[in-house]
Structure 1
């Protein structure tokens, strides 16, 4: 086998975004590259693989099409993917491996398959391959419809199994926030002004990725093959909300189309009742929110908030360092200079820190409305455990309380 590792590009994107059309186009314009293609589909009959064959981009002597049906490469078919890629690499006949993942797969587990050794299977794909590029395809025409639908994959009969309770919008966001290249497809079906607004939103959600507009999936293969773009660490930190939190402050950019973002940060806990009321009437102009919240009634552990469109996920994120035993606390603070630097003398690392990304947001009004949900000076001196708390997951971490 050649010492050189085979590069791999993975195409992700929600069902119907145009992944197969892009795959066919690339195969028909690959300039002599010997490409092995893995098509992953959830249906019994692998329609996508049929389309690839019909597209004429596969030569019997040079290419190989592997069909993986009835599962998803990020979960049930991960073992199959590992074995299949290893087998293709060992054949030493291909210059490139192109994977079209199912429309309901999340990109991170797929990337991990190529980045880490699978000890259960004894397969280390990084010996044979290098992940070159994670591509996410977005349907410009249907994006806002899917984003705001409020539907689950189960309701759309697109779930991997009956335990798959994911919302459509959460999947869309997962695919957008972890990629190297964002292909905005079907651009001919959307007015230029709407397209520009969507593009600005996508750039806000994912500032690192290259953004390419396409019509009928016609992308230059050089944009997604042999790019050298993939870096797991960088991809993991590329979401707009992470960039926003890391900056610590926000320099206002030209807020074209009213698209903006800000970080809400307060060292004072939320009153659970008032915060619940605020969240039940979630401002429609907020497209994406992500961060950590401090609830007065749950003083030992932080709460994670993750919102995309109509989907809001809220629950325990882990213990505040300030809630740990003195020994554990001292150890962590010695290791993490940044945490020690921001340590509050009264409340330690407890803080509300949430990124908001939206369209036509009235920042001052939103901040004022959130400030009203914080404990008042008077409430700060009351017994916080007496406040009514109707948020879910209240007991999830209570079983293992930290040492005092």
Structure 2
């Protein structure tokens, strides 16, 4: 019988440790493994193994390369396998800046079947810090939380990805005695914002039971489909006292220059925005929009399904074919504009008017359009 493994992620180390402690208390004999990455730039990490009562092992590990991938491959997986026959539950206490997806996918390996199975991905959230941190447009290195030398990720970006990938979100009720309990207003605001960012993900608040960690191993392809641009389960339009989520869904192509000019407004007026879109200048390419705390990423994610020859559809994952079918229409196929923006006091009509003004007008032609995205995407605009 394989041993369940639960990943506990989160930028907020105190909250994460409280969730790990609770898992160890509620599952007697469970073990937690943690890698301290403060010295990873020099190829060194400190590994700690503990149970509910004591630290069982603390070792300085020297890696061939100083990166999270090497830590998982060279040390975490061998350690999980070593303890698989000694514990009813293995808890991976991820370092602050580690996004759980890469670790989850490393554990979803055929060679590990029968020994360990991924049972859950929890992200611990500090109710007081989260509403502020999701707005912090600073690099991890500036916040003292880099994952490797030259880590160019942003703090709010990592926090958003930790929240959105998780199978459950936990706001702990047990914090160090030196810290005051969470304020009721903080808890209310935190839960409200989590409902905007990850509305389909269960949230455990103080005093509530943790989600069950039983059943078959999680499928990381299904976890990825929840967040990948082509298949993402994007939030619906929602209005609450502290924030609004606005959805813009259209079928006409975007004029590349006008949309490029609108990017700053979209990114700065919202706290979090994401989705997929298409430009008149590159009708065969699905482009992904991902922005948090004013930091925008635009990526080419490959062809729209309608741009592929029909025989190639058999090689496309079922989740992608289903998502395409929901957007499908004669003439354009699955090409769609689907952007979702979340922030305080968003004016839906104003955002819709701005984005609608970026659409290609009926009397405009897609040929010879100026495309400022060409340099960002590093693509030949003719492809």
Shift, 1:176, TM fit:
0.6
Measured after TM superposition, the shift of residue 103 of structure 1 is 1.0
Matches for 1:10-49 after TM superposition, within 5 Å: 10-27=7-24, 29-30=25-26, 33-44=28-39, 49=48
| Residues 295-344 of structure 1: CA deviation (Å, up to 9, x unaligned) | 222233221111122221112121234444xxx24653998477467544
Equivalent-residue separation in structure 2 for 1:334 and 1:38 (angstroms): 38
* Cα distance in 1 for residues equivalent to 2:272 and 2:215: 29
Distance 2:285 2:60 in 1: 42
Q: After superposition, where does 1:325-364 map in structure 2 within 5 Å?
A: 328-329=309-310, 331-332=312-313, 336=321, 339=324, 342-364=327-349
Matched, 1:82 2:77: yes
Corresponding position of 1:297 = 281
Residues 71-110 of structure 1 aligned to structure 2 (within 5 Å): 74-79=68-73, 80-89=75-84, 92-110=85-103
Aligned ranges for residues 392-403 of structure 1 at < 5 Å? 392-396=375-379, 401=383
1:256-297, Cα deviation, whole Å (9 max, x unpaired):
325443432222222222212211123655232221111222
Q: Which residue of 2 is the match for residue 132 of structure 1? A: 119
Match of 1:111 in 2: 104
Contact conserved, 1:36 with 1:97, CA < 8 A, in 2?
Answer: yes
Give the secondary-structure state (helix, strand or coil) at the position aligned to 2:249: strand
Distance 1:68 1:204, change over 3 A: farther
Q: Is the 8 A contact 2:170 2:204 kept in 1?
A: yes
Q: Is 1:8 the equivalent of 2:1?
A: no
- Hey, what's the Cα distance between the residues in 1 that align with 2:139 and 2:344? 24
1:127-179, Cα deviation, whole Å (9 max, x unpaired): 21222222111122222332222111233343232342111111101111122
Residues 319 and 131 of structure 1, relative CA distance in 2, 3 Å threshold = closer
In structure 2, relative to structure 1, the CA distance for the partners of 1:85 and 1:68 (3 Å cut) is: farther
Give the structure with higher Rg (CA): 1
Q: Residues 277 and 337 of structure 2 are in contact (CA less than 8 Å); yes or no, is this contact kept in structure 1? A: yes
Shift of 1:371: 0.2
Written as runs of structure 1 = structure 2, the 5 A alignment for 1:268-287 is: 268-282=252-266, 284-287=268-271
- Which SS does the other structure have where 1:139 is aligned? coil
Give unmatched runs, 5+ long, in structure 2.
Answer: none
Pick which of 383-392 and 73-82 moved more.
383-392
Secondary structure at the aligned position of 1:127 is classed as coil
Distance 2:86 2:202 in 1: 30
Q: Which moved more, 1:173-182 or 1:313-322?
A: 313-322
Match of 1:120 in 2: none
Moved more, 153-162 or 100-109: 153-162
C-alpha RMSD of matched pairs (Å): 3.6
| Alignment CA distance shift 1:348-1:8 (3 Å) | closer
CA distance in 2, matches of 1:203, 1:67: 40
Contact 1:270 1:295 in 2 (8 A): yes
Show the 5 A alignment for 1:137-156.
137-156=124-143
CA contact (8 A) 2:3 2:117 kept: yes
Q: For the Cα contact (< 8 Å) 2:267–2:295, is it kept in 1?
A: no
User: In the TM superposition, what is the alpha-carbon distance from 1:390 to its structure 2 partner?
Assistant: 5.0
TM-score, structure 1 length as denominator? 0.76
Give, in angstroms, the shift of residue 25 of structure 1: 4.8
1:374 and 2:359 matched: yes
Task: Tell me the number of residue pairs that the alignment of Structure 1 and Structure 2 aligns.
Answer: 364
Q: What runs of 5+ residues in structure 1 fail to find an aligned partner?
A: 118-123
Q: Call closer, same or farther: CA 1:70–1:260 in 2, change over 3 Å.
A: farther
